[in-house]
Amino acid sequence: MKKEISLAKANRLINSGALIMVTSCYKDKQNIITLAWNSPLSHNPPLLGISIAKTHLSSELIKKSKEFVVNVPSLDLLDKIVFCGTHHGHDIDKFKEAKLTAVKANRLVNTPLIKECIGHLECLLRDVKEAGDHILFIGEVISASVEESLFNDTWLVDKVKLAFHLGGSDFTSSNELVRVK
Ligand SMILES: Cc1cc2nc3c(=O)[nH]c(=O)nc-3n(C[C@H](O)[C@H](O)[C@H](O)COP(=O)(O)O)c2cc1C
């Protein structure tokens, strides 16, 4: 038996990608936003998409600087994930308030990485599409780096817990590896 659910919660059926913390920077303002809505889009060139509400400071900074960095947190950072997802950078410096460390990127972007995160994708903005009340930012990955003890072709899920958002106050993680032959 299937039940119908409200359209407001329809996204929760597929809202299952690992949470990311996206950093942005324009002139002397830098910011962090927590995002559940993200996806790889292309192998060649390596493109990914992130969907950010039009009103968020991060949308403004990314439009102006034409770059952003995807940082992958582990579940250990849940307090900081929630903090950066519930406070607006208009009002505060999230690096300072969340006690996260900004470090210089490896390649051509001015946007800092978050040191405490375990993976980083440095992106140049390639396209911007309006999507209802959100903006789909399409970025080309120009540098990817990861904690070497936690990644060997794929995340070593027996060593690290990635964070997933189910919706509302509910989060989950997975540490079961299932490998097909
Ligand atoms: C778990 C979680 C997931 C979120 N996912 C998104 C998302 O995919 N897109 C979005 O626009 N906002 C998302 N948010 C909300 C923003 O992170 C939040 O509104 C943030 O304060 C905006 O920051 P800014 O105005 O400094 O850019 C999420 C929040 C949480 C807690």
Q: pLDDT of 134-156, one tens digit each?
A: 999 999 999 999 999 999 999 99
Q: How high is the mean pLDDT of the chain? A: 95
Indicate if ligand 1 lies below 6 Å from the C-beta of 61: no
For residue 37, is pLDDT > 90?
yes
Report, as an integer, the average pLDDT of 48-58.
98
Q: Report pLDDT for 16.
A: 72
Q: In terms of C-beta distances under 8 Å and separation of at least 24 residues, what long-range contacts does 41-49 make, across chains too?
A: 41/138, 45/140, 46/140, 46/141, 47/126, 47/138, 47/139, 47/140, 47/141, 48/121, 48/123, 48/138, 48/139, 48/141, 49/136, 49/137, 49/138, 49/139
Report, as an integer, the average pLDDT of 25-52.
97
Q: Which sequence spans correspond to the domains of the chain?
A: 19-172
Indicate if ligand 1 lies below 6 Å from the C-beta of 17: no
Distance from the alpha carbon of residue 22 to the mean position of ligand 1, in angstroms: 10
Quote the pTM value.
0.96
Q: Report pLDDT for 35.
A: 98
- Per-residue pLDDT reduced to its tens digit, 70-124: 999 999 999 999 999 999 999 899 999 999 999 999 888 999 999 999 999 999 9
Indicate if ligand 1 lies below 6 Å from the C-beta of 20: no
CATH class of the domain comprising 19-172: mainly beta
pLDDT band at 36 (very low <50, low <70, confident <90, very high): very high
The atom number, within ligand 1, closest to the CA of 32 reads 26
Return the higher-pLDDT residue of 14 and 126: 126
Indicate if ligand 1 lies below 6 Å from the C-beta of 82: yes
For residue 24, is pLDDT > 90?
yes
